[in-house]
Amino acid sequence: MAEDTDALVAMERILSPHCRVTRMSGGALIADWRRTRFLGMATADIQKFADGGPEERAELATALLRAGCATARRKEHSDVEVGLWLRGVQLLIRTIGFGRVLRLLSVAAPDYTRADPAAAADVAPLKCAVQSQGRRSWFVNDDCKAEAVTAFVLLRRRGLSAVLHVGVREHPFALHAWTSSADVCIPDADPRGHTFTPVLSINGGGR
């Protein structure tokens, strides 16, 4: 019973949020509520998600993608792309202000679509790229607002969940912005050991 549950959990991680899995006597039933369709899977196929090799999992994942029940993972952004996004976000912040940029997130950073949660291994490379590009660019100059917004947008566009925070410190007064995903903060939530209390958190497309 525990093995069956683990197999179902492993399969649910790659399904789109609008799909639900129900255990059946001969396997499982995937309900696609967006298209009002149902897809049956045999017990042996479901078990491959928990115990199968990479090739077997890839074959089953491809079948689910073709059926419209799974969302493909977007590739990681290159350092060049991250740098371009950083400079573009910084220019936008300087032009229209940070508050108005936050209002545009519903357009630039749609709600995440992957059913499986983000993992630290997915987020850590982006953190390195964002901070590296932020330090190299005199225009960005390691600005936390540009880094946080860039990380939030790029994570969302890859289908990963993320939350953008704006925090405040009273003594001495200071504001700080960061994006958190899979317990990874971009940039650090407590730069130089200073703790900031979140006063605004955006966990959806501009909400």
Question: DSSP letter string over 89-143?
Answer: HHHHHHHH-HHHHHHTHHHHSPPP--SSPP-HHHHHHHHHHHHHHHHH-TTTTT-
- Which residues constitute the domain of residue 27? 2-66
Same domain, 90 and 169: yes
Evaluate if residue 3 carries a pLDDT over 90.
Answer: no
Please count the residues of the chain.
207
Q: Tell me, yes or no, whether 109 lies in a domain.
A: yes
**% of the chain surpassing 90 pLDDT:** 33
- End-of-domain residue from the set 37, 66, 95: 66
pLDDT of residue 17: 67
DSSP state of 191: G
pTM of the model: 0.65
Band (pLDDT 50/70/90 cuts) for residue 1 is very low
Same domain, 103 and 18: no
Distance CA 153, CA 45 (A): 35
37-42 and 197-202 strand pairing: unpaired
Distance CA 180, CA 141 (A): 21
Q: Tell me, yes or no, whether 143 lies in a domain.
A: yes
Evaluate if residue 193 carries a pLDDT over 90.
Answer: no
Q: Tell me, yes or no, whether 106 lies in a domain.
A: yes
The residues with which 15 forms a beta bridge, in sequence order, are 70
Q: Tell me, yes or no, whether 39 lies in a domain.
A: yes
Distance CA 81, CA 17 (A): 28
**Structural domain count, the chain:** 2
- Residues 120-133 have a mean pLDDT of 90
Evaluate if residue 207 carries a pLDDT over 50.
Answer: no
Q: Tell me, yes or no, whether 179 lies in a domain.
A: yes
Angle at CA of residue 199, ends 194 and 202, nearest 5°: 110
Distance of CA 49 to the CA centre of its chain: 22
Query: Cα dihedral sign for 116, 117, 118, 120?
Result: negative
Same domain, 142 and 198: yes
- End-of-domain residue from the set 17, 35, 66: 66
* Higher pLDDT, residue 173 or 56: 173
163-169 and 197-202 strand pairing: antiparallel
pLDDT of residue 205: 46
Same domain, 89 and 187: yes
Other CB atoms within a 10 A radius of the CB of residue 164 amount to 27
37-42 and 163-169 strand pairing: unpaired
Band (pLDDT 50/70/90 cuts) for residue 140 is confident
Same domain, 52 and 94: no
Other CB atoms within a 10 A radius of the CB of residue 181 amount to 25
Same domain, 15 and 83: no
Distance CA 195, CA 176 (A): 10
Same domain, 103 and 60: no
Band (pLDDT 50/70/90 cuts) for residue 201 is very high
Mean pLDDT highest for which of 28-32, 55-59, 71-75, 172-176? Answer: 172-176
Other CB atoms within a 10 A radius of the CB of residue 88 amount to 13
Same domain, 128 and 168: yes
pLDDT of residue 50: 67
Q: Tell me, yes or no, whether 74 lies in a domain.
A: no
Same domain, 193 and 94: yes
